[in-house]
Amino acid sequence: MGRLGEALAETDGKPIFVFGGIPGEEVVAEVVRERRSHIAARVVEVVEASAHRVEAPCRYFGECVGCQWQHVAYERQLELKREVVCDTLERVGGLSGVRVEPTLASPQRLGYRNHARFTVSRRAGAGAGRGEGRLGFVNRETRRHVDVEECLLMAPRINEMLAALQGRAGETTQLTIRTGVNTGSWMLQPLLQDPDVPHESGQTHYEERLGGRAFRIASPSFFQVNTAQAERLVGLVREGLALTGKETLVDAYAGVGVFAALLAGDAARVVAIEDSAAAVEDAKGNAEGIRNVEFRLGKAEEALALLAAETAIDAVVLDPPRSGCQPDALRALIEAAPRRVVYVSCDPETLARDLRALTDGGFRIGRVQPVDMFPQTRHVECVTTLTLDGSRRADRRASVSRLVLASASPRRRDIARRALGSGVEFASAFVDERVVAAECVEQGGDALAVAQELALAKARAAADGEAAGRFIGADTVVEAPSAEADGEGSRVLGKPADAEEAVEMLRALRGREHRVITALAVVDAATGREEAAHCVSRVAMREYGDVEIAAYVKSGTPFDKAGAYGVQDEEFAPAAAVRGCYLNVVGLPVCALFDLLERFGARPAPDAPVKGWPSLMRCPACAKQARRASGA
């Protein structure tokens, strides 16, 4: 079977996707559409039938391609779905030997969908006789509208409403019906103005019961389309999490709070994360009376990182959209290092991709359980259980609490101690800066690229051989206008090696404006993850004289100052103005550093109030970050 549920054939090296076919059959197929990459066709005659072929129960099968497998015996559909999962895990994720269970059958093979989205044709269909507003579906290949009097996948209430609305919804192009199969509640959208429409429309929500609990579902919110199988999903997730009642559980894509509400009794604390404001409002109402559930509005990747910095996370439920988890969400999960993760997925390809990332991050796949949420179609839901190696979890806990600045510079160490607290550690990074910079420039790198390469090199060198901790590297460079180009173009100025270079640099900068770029890098020794950030400030230099330069260079201070000059030196005071982060010019921008550490879930805690630190207060962004970190 091909990826979209058709049987796959080939002619002259070009794939043919044959709708209505079964692998192994001999059929006569009619070409529906020819594209550059493939041919779409459909079966018009079966010459030699598969033993798995059955008569499709729907009269629209073939014209409407919403169901791909009505012609396949249901037992074989279940086998095909397991085969698809096995193949995709290996082909996309490179995951071999994974335990994939037989697909769990749906108790209803037809009439199971609680959600229908119809396209409305404004032209009368064949035999319509009632004017505009014909409800139906659009064929994926031909783009033809297919009028339907009923859809066999839909719950009875939806088909009743379809029959009553057929021919009366011409004022819209799309129409959605959602129904609570356990409550009788329903929602019809959009709001229809025609007085002949026999049903109330435009509702903002409907209600459904699941696991003995009522759930309010707003129109933008996601809810599983197969209610009976949704209850089985909850059971599988509960089994996979193996909670004891003492854990902190995170529902990372909470939707309307189904897992959070139904699993709350199994955990000490449940934190539900959802980026849809409408869904969060629903979820809060759905969890009313449950005291150990809290909701956070935001993206999973951001909320996970922040939560992991606050507390240990024991278990996580992932139920992302079809596109899967964002890379940052997976990284945050790996760093949070929960004991168990249960991943609910409706797309084997994105599941395979994400499982590859999680296994690379120290998780082990226990089993994959396919669940048939969508009988008669190619789609399959999967519930995957993952566990984390105990040693990996211990490394994670140590890594979370340990911050190390890879720098011997007294000024950087002083800034780090003030900003990150007395618990910050320091290490020396043995990097040949001139070699790294020269290689970067040879490869076309600009000032920012040079600074980033140096910062990464320092962080990597310090983290090498360490089991845990976040290692911070920093490097500051000056990007000065080229004198020859009269302001057009620039050159990178690094730390001077001797007095002659220091004099040359200070002369090149005086009376002109230049950029100071500090690059920051963090390497997590436990996971190998590394990321970089940077900050840019503009500095206008005053017209100091050669005598001042000579005296300053003789003092020796230019050789241990950011950008090889001491903007903070009160006696020489070379800068007339600084635009941007002042600490960036000094060598360690707290604003950029805090942002970078937050990506790793680290939340620094300064020991002293920030208002007593004038240099930090010169940058509003630094001051804001430090106040938040110190709780001021």
pLDDT of residue 267: 95
Q: Which of 388, 416, 437 is a domain's end point?
A: 388
- 211 and 231 in a single domain? The answer is no
DSSP string for residues in 370-403 = EE-SSTTSS--EEEEEEEE-HHHHHHHHHHHH-E
82, 134: one domain: no
CATH code (residue 585): 3.90.950.10
> In CATH, what number is assigned to the domain containing residue 258?
3.40.50.150
The whole-chain average pLDDT of the chain stands at: 88
CB burial of residue 90 (10 Å; 0-12, 13-18, 19+): middle
Q: What is the pLDDT of residue 391?
A: 61
Structure tokens at 350: 């994105």
* Tens-digit pLDDT profile for residues 178-219: 999 999 999 999 999 988 888 999 999 999 999 999 999 998
Q: 430 and 558: one domain?
A: yes
Q: Does 317 share its domain with 383?
A: yes
Q: 424 exposed, middle or buried (CB, 10 Å; 0-12, 13-18, 19+)?
A: middle
So what's the pLDDT on residue 561?
Answer: 46
Could you tell me if 338 and 361 lie in one domain?
yes
Q: Are residues 383 and 405 in the same domain?
A: no
Is residue 66 a part of any domain in this protein? no
Which residues are catalytic, by number? Answer: 346
Residues 414 and 519 in one domain: yes
Q: How many domains does the chain have?
A: 4
346's tokens: 């409706």
Q: What is the CATH number of the domain that holds 43?
A: 2.40.50.140
How far apart CA 597 and CA 510 sit, in angstroms, is: 35
Residue 154 and residue 265 share a domain: no
Q: Give yes or no: residues 340 and 428 share one domain.
A: no
With 0-12 / 13-18 / 19 or more C-beta atoms within 10 angstroms meaning exposed / middle / buried, residue 489 is exposed
Instruction: Let me know if residue 151 belongs to a domain.
Output: yes
Judgement on whether residues 88 and 151 belong to the same structural domain of the protein: no
Q: Does residue 552 lie in a domain region?
A: yes
Report yes or no on 64 lying in a domain.
no
Residue 414 falls inside a structural domain = yes
110 within some domain: no
22, part of any domain: yes
pTM higher than 0.75, yes or no?
no
**pLDDT grade for 312, boundaries at 50, 70 and 90:** confident
Q: Which residue has the higher pLDDT, 341 or 600?
A: 341
Per-range mean pLDDT, top range of 81-85, 395-399, 505-509: 81-85
Indicate the residue among 172, 201, 218 that finishes a domain: 218
- Band of the pLDDT at 609, cuts 50, 70, 90? low
Report the interhelical angle of 447-463 vs 433-442 (nearest 10°): 140
Report the alpha-carbon distance of residue 509 to residue 544 in Å, rounded.
10
Phi, psi angle pair for 142, to nearest 5°: -85, -20
Instruction: Using the predicted structure, report yes or no on whether residue 23 has a pLDDT greater than 90.
Output: yes
Paired with 536 in beta bridges are 517
Average pLDDT over residues 324-342: 91
Closest Cα partner for 90 from 451, 352, 276, 391? 352
Q: How confident is the model at residue 510 (pLDDT cuts 50, 70, 90)?
A: confident
Co-location of 143 and 251 in the same domain: no
What range defines the domain where residue 16 resides?
A: 1-53
Q: Which of 361, 388, 415 is the last residue of a domain?
A: 388
Is 65 a domain residue? no
175 in the same domain as 231: no
Digit-coded pLDDT (tens) for 356-380: 989 988 899 999 999 999 999 999 9
| Other Cβ atoms within 10 Å of 3 Cβ, number | 12
